[in-house]
Amino acid sequence: PTFAHRDFKCEHLLAAPGSLTLIDFDRCAFADPAFDLGKLLADLRWWFSAYDQAGLEQAQAQVLAGYAPGTERLVRARLWEAVELVHMTVLRARLFERHAASRTERLIGRAEAVVRTLQVTLGASGSGVRGGRPVAIRR
């Protein structure tokens, strides 16, 4: 464990020309550093889905490129991504919204796809990276 933000998501990042500031440290504690990375990957997946935007893989790759390489951490981050995607889908569900059920089903399906890809990756190569690059998770 190390000092971790524990609520690392897009809304806690303030972007300005030439700088990026992380805010909201009320949940900080000693934790698995892969949790923060996984939560941010899940948050990106959630927002890209919410606005039906392309480019998720590129955005996640940019985030992962900013982290020190480490197969074990990337594997744990992808697992946390799946767990946190389910968690935030449930917390952010708007039950009376017209497409709430189909959106929830789609996001849970994406979390399942992350886990399936992780299982295949671990079964095939025993790591979460190939050729020094993080594994792309697609659905």
Asked whether the predicted pLDDT for residue 71 surpasses 80, the reply is no
Q: What is the CATH number of the domain that holds 105?
A: 3.90.1200.10
pLDDT digit string, tens, across residues 10-42: 999 999 999 999 999 999 999 999 999 999 999
Query: Which residue range forms the structural domain that includes residue 34?
Result: 2-134
CA distance 4 to 88: 19
Cβ(137)–Cβ(59) under 8 Å? no
CA distance 130 to 64: 14
Q: Tell me, yes or no, whether 44 lies in a domain.
A: yes
Q: Tell me, yes or no, whether 115 lies in a domain.
A: yes
Pairing of strands 2-4, 29-31: antiparallel
Q: Tell me, yes or no, whether 139 lies in a domain.
A: no
Distances in Å between the alpha carbon of 34 and those of 27, 54, 100?
15, 25, 29
pTM of the predicted model as reported, rounded to 2 decimal places: 0.81
